[in-house]
Amino acid sequence: MTAVIDRLGGGRPVFSVEFFPPRDDVGERQLWQAVHDFEPLNPAFVSVTYGAGGSSRDRTVRITGRIAQQTSLVPMAHLTAVNHSVAELRQVIGSYAEAGIRNVLALRGDPPGEPLGEWVAHPQGVHYAEELVRLVRSLGHFCIGVAAFPECHPRSPDAESDVRHLIAKLRAGAQFAITQMFFRAEDYLRLRDRVTAAGADMATVPILPGVMPITTLRGVQKMAELSGCTIPETVRNRLVAVGDDPAAVRQVGVDVATELCERLLAEGAPGLHFYTLNRSGSTRAVLARLGMAPVRSGR
């Protein structure tokens, strides 16, 4: 199994995409259509999320394993500590290994039911993502990624403590990081500067910026609320200006994402991680604008 870190060190910007386990057969078909749409574009890797409290654990393992076995894509599975004992976490990690999956994004995770509520560790579990990274590292040869937060984690008291947590995860064995979604390039650049000042080498520990092309105003508002991401007033005004026209909203979303990506790449970002919501059209349109993928009809 190819390690994600090996796909990030080629000296040129790369892109990756994120999927989530579908809830029904219709969603499953949509997911696999997106997988097949992205496969010819050769993303550095694709990731599959893991529901709060492990609610989609089995589907995540199954889908990530199928991607590994039936496509040419490099898959990475998410793993969260919510509601899991260390014994259960060992079992999940073992399931990934049995499926041939050796790339893991280790996350503490959000509380089930109330993502911004109080986080309570399992009595026999772990308290921090740093501990989860150490657990995964102790169980075999895994390539481990972690989360980073350009606008700080919602529970961090300040930017300095937020960076200390990220540095601790990297020192525990994480090899790269992916940021939460954001819309202001300056937030990513300030995070990168703080991490560098704290002693991390961005040349060997890349931080991939997370980008979500907007497809609906309501959807992005909900995602921003859950993640603590700020939607700039200028972006909100552009969306409001096109009203309820879905095609126009998606076009604004592509424009906004393209502008952000162009700035990030110009500032030396090692790549781009797209939150796709299991659809390929808007992300492919952005990649085409950036010259990172051929132009194709949207879906």
The DSSP annotation for 84-139 comes to: --HHHHHHHHHHHHHTT--EEEEE--PPTT-TTS-----TTS-SSHHHHHHHHHHT
**Which tokens hold the place of 5?**
């870190």
Higher pLDDT, residue 81 or 237: 237
Q: Select which of 18, 130, 131, 151 is catalytic.
A: 18
What percent of the chain has pLDDT above 90? Answer: 66
Query: Could you tell me if 169 and 130 are in contact, meaning their C-beta atoms sit under 8 angstroms apart?
Result: yes
- What's the DSSP call for residue 81? -
Instruction: Supply the pLDDT for residue 127.
Output: 85
Query: Could you tell me if 140 and 101 are in contact, meaning their C-beta atoms sit under 8 angstroms apart?
Result: no
Query: Could you tell me if 204 and 171 are in contact, meaning their C-beta atoms sit under 8 angstroms apart?
Result: no
Separation of alpha carbons 149 and 246, rounded Å = 30
What's the Cα-to-Cα distance from 160 to each of 39, 156, 190, rounded to whole Å?
39, 9, 11
pLDDT bin (cut points 50, 70, 90) of residue 296 is very low
Q: Mean pLDDT lowest for which of 32-36, 95-99, 151-155, 273-277?
A: 151-155
Where do we find the tokens 């050769």? 42
Instruction: Supply the pLDDT for residue 225.
Output: 82
Q: Answer yes or no: is pLDDT of 221 > 70.
A: yes
Phi-psi region of 254 (alpha: psi -120 to 50; beta: other; left: phi over 0): alpha
Q: Answer yes or no: is pLDDT of 42 > 90.
A: yes
Separation of alpha carbons 30 and 197, rounded Å = 43
Q: Mean pLDDT lowest for which of 25-29, 31-35, 53-57?
A: 53-57
- pTM (predicted TM-score): 0.92
Instruction: Supply the pLDDT for residue 213.
Output: 96
What percent of the chain has pLDDT above 70? Answer: 93
Instruction: Supply the pLDDT for residue 246.
Output: 94
Three state DSSP letters for 139-159: CCCCEEEEEECCCCCCCCCCH
Separation of alpha carbons 261 and 298, rounded Å = 19
- Sign, Cα dihedral of 49, 81, 79, 92: negative
What single-letter amino acid sits at 270?
Answer: P
Instruction: Supply the pLDDT for residue 243.
Output: 86
Separation of alpha carbons 198 and 189, rounded Å = 14
Q: Using one digit for the tens of pLDDT, what is the confidence trace for 229-244?
A: 999 999 999 999 998 8
Instruction: Supply the pLDDT for residue 294.
Output: 61
Instruction: Supply the pLDDT for residue 61.
Output: 85
Q: Answer yes or no: is pLDDT of 163 > 70.
A: yes
- The structural architecture, per CATH, of the domain 4-289 is Alpha-Beta Barrel (3.20)
- What's the DSSP call for residue 204? T
Q: At what angle do helices 129-138 and 86-98 cross, to 10 degrees?
A: 50
Q: Answer yes or no: is pLDDT of 204 > 70.
A: yes
- Look at strands 14-19 and 103-107 and give their pairing: unpaired
Where do we find the tokens 């550095």? 44
Q: Determine the average pLDDT of the residues in 207-215.
A: 96
- In the residue annotation, 18 being an active-site residue is answered as yes
Q: Using one digit for the tens of pLDDT, what is the confidence trace for 114-144?
A: 655 666 777 787 888 999 999 999 999 999 9
Rg (CA), the chain: 18
pLDDT bin (cut points 50, 70, 90) of residue 82 is confident
Instruction: Supply the pLDDT for residue 297.
Output: 40
Instruction: Supply the pLDDT for residue 114.
Output: 61
Instruction: Supply the pLDDT for residue 167.
Output: 94
Q: Determine the average pLDDT of the residues in 78-92.
A: 89
Residues 6+ apart with CB under 8 A from 279: 30, 34, 215, 299
Q: Answer yes or no: is pLDDT of 298 > 50.
A: no
Helix (H, G, I), strand (E, B) or coil at 181: strand
